[in-house]
A and B are shown apart, each in its own frame.
Chain A
Amino acid sequence: MGSHTGTSPLTQRELIAEYFMEHRVQVLELAAFLDRLDRAREIDADDDFRLRSIRAALDVLVDGDGDRVQRVQMIFSDPRSELLEELDTQSAKGAYDPEA
């Protein structure tokens, strides 16, 4: 269970009745994206840091330990506190690359 137990005013039954369809499609979209990667003309990024972060996030979704969104956010995050000496790129990429 998460650390904010009981803060949703809706019951589980009510949440599922209201929101199942829109989350069903999100699961299917992710499944299709992973299949698309498998079908790629060339398997040339299987160790890409962004793909690794998605796989790690998927593990969190099913481990049953709660606080999923915070833990997934931290998987995507740069965990360091050091300042960069100078600007390396103008925009973020969406996931932390420990080898960059």
Chain B
Amino acid sequence: MEYIDLHAHMVSRTTDDYREMAMSGCVAVTEPAFWAGYDRPGVDAFIDYFNRLTDFEPKRAATYGIAHFTWMCLNPKEAENRELTRQVLEVIPRYLELPTVLGIGEIGLNRVTKNELAGFKDHVDLAMEYEQLIHIHTPHLEDKWKGTKVIVETLAADSRIEPHRVMVDHAEEHSVDMILDNGFWTGLTLYPVTKVSPARAVDVIESRGPERICVAAACDWGESRPLAVPEFIMEMRRRGHPDSLIRRVVYENPIEFLGQSPKFRLPDRERSAVAV
């Protein structure tokens, strides 16, 4: 089954991963800017990273017939440094003009500090100024509920925000309702340990329905599964769900959200030269 992985940190993955994703049905990925596993030394490191996201990765993905899109930001793990945040915010607009940049993300919170929230609001202002879609990272583990609540309340209080243009990602059972009830899109990221398993993601779809919910691997430099979406597809079938419902979650829903950007286009299968 064809699918779109809406959240995949492919800079951390091998070309073999692209190949296996293509062979398992992946037609497009979107890659939010994120933390490298260590704090970057300065704005030049971000420029190098953004160049890779907008140049090298789309070419690498295209080799296997996968469309690659990206999102720009300074991630919340580095937002404690307000001066660095200001410097990175200054360079982001030049990237927003590029053909594969869909919006601002993944912004959000990490430990839910005052500076993180200030950086989050700065990015929201940038998104509003340049009329961009927003992709949001919610905190991990014990900080999930608290951070999601602060993010949702902050956005709900901002009259400029159109919830249908915002993806609040990394939802789990205790955060998904507050996201959906406020009109936002949400994502279930399929991780082996720290987020949602494919089985629990299916539980969420069964109990809440498929409206405004996507799933993604969020594969990165940590223990993660680039083929997590096919695992979700297999689990949905194991539970007795029809392919029409599965396709809605893994293909049609991402298109509905991402298609709000005029830049989002799927590969033309009649013309693409695929090296698989």
Contact = CB atoms under 8 A, between A and B. Distances in A.
A34 to B, nearest CB: 19
Interface stretch (B141-149, B212-220, B254-262): B141-149
A87 B111 contact: yes
Contacts of A73: 144-145, 172-174
Nearest to A22: B199
Contact of B114 (A79, A83, A88): A83
B108 interface: no
B140 interface: yes
Interface stretch (B125-133, B225-233, B238-246): B238-246
A13 interface: no
A12 to B, nearest CB: 13
Contacts of B238: 18
Contact of B117 (A83, A87, A89, A91): A83
Interface in A76-95: 76-81, 83-95
B203 interface: yes
Interface in A47-100: 69-70, 73-74, 76-81, 83-96
Interface string B113-124: 111110000000
Interface string A18-30: 1000000000000
Chain A binding surface, main DSSP class: loop
Nearest to A14: B240
A10 interface: yes
Given A78-B145, A94-B141, A83 B113 contact: yes
A86 B115 CA distance: 7
B206 interface: yes
B111 A84 contact: yes
Interface residues of A, number: 32
A39 B141 CA distance: 28
A69 B203 contact: yes
Contact of B143 (A9, A14, A78): A78
A8 B206 CA distance: 6
Contacts of B80: 86-87
B203 A92 contact: no
B182 to A, nearest CB: 16
A55 to B, nearest CB: 16
Nearest to A89: B111
B173 A92 contact: no
Given A4-B206, A8-B239, A10-B240, A83 B150 contact: yes
Nearest to A71: B174
12 contacts: A9-B206, A73-B172, A74-B145, A77-B146, A81-B150, A85-B114, A86-B115, A87-B116, A90-B110, A92-B139, A94-B142, A95-B141
